[in-house]
Structure formats: C-alpha cells, structure tokens
Structure 1
Amino acid sequence: MSSQERSKILLNIADALEASEKLIIAENEADIAEAQQAGYEKSLVSRLALKPGKVSSLAKSIRILADMEEPTGQVLKRTELSQGFILEKMSSPLGVLLIIFESRPDALVQIAALAIRSGNGLLLKGGKEAKRSNAILHKVITSAIPENVGEGLVGLVASREDIPELLKLDDVIDLVIPRGGNKLVSQIKASTKIPVLGHSDGICHVYVDKSADMVKAKQIVLDSKTDYPAACNAMETLLVHTELVNTGGLNELIVELQIKGVTIYGGSRASSLLNLPEASSFHHEYSSLACTIEVVDDVYAAIDHIHHGHTDCIITEDHDIAEMFLHQVDSAAVFHNASTRFCDGFRFGLGAEVGISTSRIHARGPVGVEGLLTTRCVDGVEAWSCKQNQFCTVELRRDDAMRLSGFA
C-alpha cells in the first residue's frame, strides 16, 4: 500500500474512535465493574480504565502518526561498491507481529496504529479483564479499514488457549511483543522460536544526590511515583545520598510522599535508620502507591545498585556527577533532573508506542514506528542507455550485477 493509503486509514480510524466514544466508554465501564466485582488489584483496574479524554488523546496521537514522514522504503545509506554499482540500505516492515498485552485497552489502539503506519500485519491478544473494551475498539478500528484491504490486517485473538498454537508459527509470525510483567515475558520466551521483544520488570529508580536542589527533588520524586503509579515508568525505588539523612532532606521527601498516600518500605540501611518496615525485595514492582527507599554512600553506590534496568533518574546540581550517572547506568532510559514518567513514546515524539523495551537487541526504550522496521539491501547498477542517451538505475540480483559489472 502507498503511504497516502495508510495515512488515510489512520485518519479514518481517528474519526471513527471519536464518533464511537460513548459506546467505547460504556463497554469499558462494564469491564471495570466486572473487574472490581472479581476483586482484581487496584493497579490492574487503574490500567484498565479509559479515563476522561483518553479516546480523544488516542485519536490525536493517531493523527500525528498519519502526518509523519513515510517510514518504509527510506534509503538509510547509499554506497558505491564499484563504479556505477550502487548498494542501498532501505527501511522495511518486519512482517507479521503478535502482540500480547495485559489490562490496558488503549494499548490496542496505539499498537494497531503503529502497525498500520509501519506496514506490518498484526495479531493482538489482550487480557480477559478488558474483553469488552478490546472487542469494541477492534470493531471500530477494522470498520475504518477498506474492504479491499481486509479486516485481517489487524486480527484479534479471542482465546488465551490459542496463544500456544500461535507461538509455534515461526514460519508465519516474525516477532512477538509481550506487554506485561517479567513473568509473562519469560513464559513467552520459553515457549517459542519466534524472536521476542520484551522488557524486564519496570523497576525504575530515582537517585537524589547530596548536591540536589530539594525543591526540584520533591517535584520529580512525587511526579515519578504518584502521577500514574500503575505505569511501568513509575518510580519503585528511591535512592538517597547518606548526607541527606543528616541534613533532613530525606525526611522531607518521606513526608511529601506520605502526604500523597504513598506507603514506604526501607532497604536494609533505610529501615534501620528510619524505623521503616523492611522491603521484601528490591526487585518488586509495586505498580501502586508504594515504594522502597534505600540510603547509599555516593553516586558510585547508586550506579552499582541500579546497574541496568528500565528508566532511571539522577537529581543533582553537580554536572560531573550527572554525566557519570548518565554514562554508567545501563538502562533503556536515563534522565537528569527529570521524572521517570517522561519515558513515554508520545512524549518522545513517536506518536504512540508498542511498549518500552529493555532489551539490547533491535529496539530499546519506547518502541514506536522505527522499532517495528528492519532493513533490506538493494543492489543496483547505473547503466548507460544508448537508445535514450541517458542514465537509468536498474535493480538487479547480486549475481546478475556481478556478471554485468564490466558493462559500460
């Protein structure tokens, strides 16, 4: 399909979402009511809810994708291998994507829009708790796709029991992207030969250095933890320089968090110094109004504690300390004096995101259109046409090009 055709489909989807907003919200509210009745955790219910303005926000992000520069078929690199023999490296769709996600129905819309924009086929499997929401969103999206294209461009997998069979189709499906906890990602990786793009637990850290501006620190820590606690880019561990224990800075941060209703647990040092209940593990993703605090000796100890992960931030006014942290923490996203919540595809200017990858292979961080593309190499020989008395470019297989490499 041409870029214009795919853009038109996206614009039609954005219009259809806004026109169907009341119906979408009604189905979503039914999912929420059932989830609450079933006793699901508050964090899951929070991720399930399509909050006021969410449908309009999704439509806006889809229009941004529709207006972006065509991502496929772009020449990324052109090399003249020999006189008149040109090699072009071009962007290309990955193929067919299987994306398994939990709770958040808005993910279905973002993923479908990104797949269409990048020219990929798509199979979606959402969580059972969002069954009604996913069904209506899928119906609205496929209704905006022309019949000559076919609604199979974006398929919805209805049953969880279908997943094991789909994971065997390594000759049909090109990439699996599980959006969920570390347990889900590990299960998928162990069950398929298909490449898997996933992320580990969203254990995001904020380190407050001794040179931090405490006004900034309070704002950043509160936003990182309380803006949307159920998100994977929310702070789960707060690391604080030991000098802030003596100056009272740590106590100020604790008070601010407690005012916002955050339950605080301590690492081994913090729990004994501050009489806090000890955290069971530093690798626990709360996804709620709770976090772990630990006291560290310096930036080196903070770096050693974090090592690598999802999204991590340093709050400091010392440029050298900041640069050390930014270069030595091996995470998908590392920030200086900015909330971890900024690690988001829309905020990064990607229009939307499939998810946030902590993998070192292929894509890392928020995965937008570029993360759903691969490359292909096209050989060409610029040959002289005597009849037309002009140059033309002929695409050839490499073996043909080698045979004709003496042509002039």
Structure 2
Amino acid sequence: MALRARAASRALQSLPSLQRQLMLERLANSLEASTEEIMAANSLDVQQAQGKVGDALLQRLVLKPAKIAQLAAGIRAIAQQAVGPQLGADLIGLVTSREQINDLLALDDVIDLVIPRGGNALVTFIQRNTRIPVLGHADGICHAYVDAAADLDMAVKVVVDGKTDYPAACNAIEKAAGVTVHSDCPQVLAVCGPLPAPPAQRHEYSSMDVSLLVVPDMTQALQHIHAFGSSHTETIITEDAAAATAFLTGTDAACVFHNASPRFADGFRFGLGAEVGVSTSRIHARGPVGVEGLLTTKWLLRGAGHIVAKDTGVTYTHKLLPLA
C-alpha cells in the first residue's frame, strides 16, 4: 500500500492545478455522501469502547455529522488538486489492524511523514517505534498564568473557557464550573481547605480536572511552565502591558496568548484552513499546522550549458521570478 501511494504521489506532482482542485472536490463530495456509513461505523466503535476507555477518550472518539461536514469543508478550502483514473485509489490507503501500523512504521524509505491523531499512548508509541519523522505532540499540558495585575472577571472567563469548552482537547488548560481542583499548594489549601493532590506536576487530565498553584512572580511561573509544560499553549491574564510582553517573549511554547483562551490554538481559528495537526517540535512547522506547513522546497534550474568549473571570482546576482 505504501509503495503504491508513493508511486501515485509522484504522478500527482505533475498534475495541473485544475485537476488537483477537481480531485479534492470529488474527495469532499465522497466524504459527505458516505456520512451515514461513517456514522454507523463510528457508533459501533463507540459501543465497543464503552467501559474500556476513559470518558475523555470516549468523548474524542464520538464523531458527529457536523464534524464530517467540517472535514469536507476543510478539503475544499485547500482544493488546489483530482484523482484521475491513472492515479485512482492508491493515493489514499486504509490501515485496518495494529499489525499493519507496525509494518508501515518500518517503511522509512517510502513514507515521508507520520501525523498521529490520538491519545498520548498512541503518539508516544509511534514516536518510539519509527525512524520516520513524526509531526505532532504526545502531551497537551497547558497553563493560564493569572498575573497580579489581572482583571479577575476576565481571568475567570478565560480560565473556565480554557478548561470546560472541550476538556479532552490538547489545548485545554491543565493547571471552573463542574471542575475538580487539585492542589498541594499551601496557599491554596489555606483558602480552599482540603483538596485532592495532583497526580503529578506534569500531568494531562483530558477531563474536568485542573491543578492550581500559587507562585510569587512571573519568573517562578515561567520556571514551572518550562519544567512541567509540553510547549503547546500558554496564556497570561494581565492588564500590565510590560508583564504581557515579558510573558509572550519569555515563554517557550508553540502558542503564547495574552488575555485569551488557549482554546484558540487551532488551525481553523488561525485561518490555516484544514488543520492536519499540532506540532510542539522546534524544527520545521510548529503550533497548529495547515497544508502549507507540510510543504518543502523544490529547486528548478534552467541553463544553457552553464558549468561551475570557471566560476572563481564570479559575482552572482539574484532576482525574484514568477513561478512557472
């Protein structure tokens, strides 16, 4: 399957833009036409998973018609490409067993990139068992730092949204209405009384739970974030412009926000069209990744018998040219 997909991808490179657009339009139409079939299969998956996985993972497993429509819209948003009969179904393959995943992860000479979409266990397994580059993140441990100069009403609004809008999401705050607060911080316990301790300083709940910590200043906050965060999304709530700038520039994360919910860390909200994933890597694409983040460079050179044997002392000049 991987070899056929590689061959099809090379044929795809030479297609004109219009045919590529038609290809993706057909793919989007096919996705929408198969909504009932997809929903029926998803319903079986959810039934089989009940009682076997946590509520957070089960929530992420549920697929709704609106999500399928969103996927189709995303395909149309990047429509620059159409499957002609010479390419056919080999452009898209379906893996149906865990054994096939292991086989595919060994094909580093054929597969360029793996984008795992799933929980921590899946992403970590793939990262540890392949030499293929992996785009993504195993953890989404995010923080909201409420500064001394914060508007407390705004802080409550941002923190509650960051945790409760979709607690299973990787950009949900880990540090609110129906939320269990965990803390072993003396200052917190002195005010709130006994609370359950956090499972660990570095822990992604993916549920209606948060950890709460009091720090003396931003320096301590950043030290904690850098020690226990996952470089995904961090936010500061403050009315102090200097503090906001210090946090925005001093925080090592793919997304850093000021007075905004971390739930904005999303390719669709960023205007990237169809998001293919979120990367916390420091190489190549970082943060929410759209199609542009998957592109690499190809250099085309037209000459008239030019050689480099006698270019010593030659001054090269360069100018921008329109793409062919």
Same fold (TM over 0.5): yes
C-alpha distance in structure 2 between counterparts of 1:27 and 1:184, whole Å:
21
Alignment of 1:350 onto 2:272: yes
Alignment of 1:39 onto 2:52: yes
- Give 2:39's aligned residue: 25
Alignment of 1:378 onto 2:297: no
Residue 366 of structure 1: how far off its partner (Å): 0.8
What CA deviation, in whole Å up to 9, does each residue of 1:145-169 have, x standing for no partner?
4432121111111111122222222
Residue 23 of structure 1: how far off its partner (Å): 2.8
Paired residue for 2:126, among 188, 194, 217? 188
Alignment of 1:402 onto 2:308: yes
CA contact (8 A) 1:271 1:278 kept: no
Paired residue for 2:209, among 285, 290, 308? 290
Amino acid aligned to 2:252: D
Alignment of 1:335 onto 2:257: yes
C-alpha distance in structure 2 between counterparts of 1:62 and 1:192, whole Å:
28
- Give 1:385's aligned residue: none
Amino acid aligned to 2:43: E
What CA deviation, in whole Å up to 9, does each residue of 1:363-406 have, x standing for no partner?
1101111221111333344xxxxxxxxxxxx6x7xxx5425979
Paired residue for 1:265, among 167, 171, 182? 182
Alignment of 1:6 onto 2:6: no
- Give 1:63's aligned residue: 76
CA contact (8 A) 1:200 1:310 kept: no
- Give 1:77's aligned residue: none
SS in 2 for 1:155: coil
Stretches of structure 2 that go unaligned for 5 or more consecutive residues are 1-14, 315-324
Distance 1:198 1:265, change over 3 A: same
C-alpha distance in structure 1 between counterparts of 2:187 and 2:27, whole Å:
51
Stretches of structure 1 that go unaligned for 5 or more consecutive residues are 71-116, 118-143, 238-256, 382-393
Residue 220 of structure 1: how far off its partner (Å): 0.9
Of stretches 279-288 and 160-169 in structure 1, the one that deviates more from structure 2 is 160-169
Alignment of 1:303 onto 2:316: no
C-alpha distance in structure 1 between counterparts of 2:92 and 2:218, whole Å:
47
What CA deviation, in whole Å up to 9, does each residue of 1:70-128 have, x standing for no partner?
5xxxxxxxxxxxxxxxxxxxxxxxxxxxxxxxxxxxxxxxxxxxxxx6xxxxxxxxxxx
Alignment of 1:162 onto 2:100: yes
C-alpha distance in structure 2 between counterparts of 1:317 and 1:61, whole Å:
36
CA contact (8 A) 2:35 2:65 kept: no
CA contact (8 A) 1:167 1:191 kept: yes
Amino acid aligned to 1:28: N
- Give 1:101's aligned residue: none
CA contact (8 A) 2:20 2:83 kept: no
Distance 1:263 1:345, change over 3 A: same
Residue 52 of structure 1: how far off its partner (Å): 4.8
CA contact (8 A) 1:270 1:293 kept: no
- Give 2:282's aligned residue: 360
Distance 1:163 1:30, change over 3 A: closer
Aligned residues: 293
Amino acid aligned to 1:14: A
Residue 223 of structure 1: how far off its partner (Å): 1.0
What CA deviation, in whole Å up to 9, does each residue of 1:29-71 have, x standing for no partner?
22222222x43211111111123522222222222222xxx5x
RMSD between aligned residues: 2.2
Whose strand proportion is higher, 1 or 2?
1
- Give 1:207's aligned residue: 145
Matches within 5 A, 1:62-141: 62-66=75-79
Amino acid aligned to 2:32: E
Amino acid aligned to 2:185: S
SS in 1 for 2:214: strand
Alignment of 1:226 onto 2:226: no
User: What TM-score do the two structures reach when normalised by structure 2?
Assistant: 0.83
Distance 1:208 1:371, change over 3 A: same
User: What TM-score do the two structures reach when normalised by structure 1?
Assistant: 0.67
Residue 18 of structure 1: how far off its partner (Å): 2.6
Alignment of 1:281 onto 2:200: yes
Amino acid aligned to 1:34: Q
- Give 2:319's aligned residue: none
C-alpha distance in structure 2 between counterparts of 1:349 and 1:318, whole Å:
28
Amino acid aligned to 1:261: G
Distance 1:201 1:269, change over 3 A: farther
Amino acid aligned to 1:9: M
Alignment of 1:235 onto 2:173: yes
SS in 2 for 1:194: coil
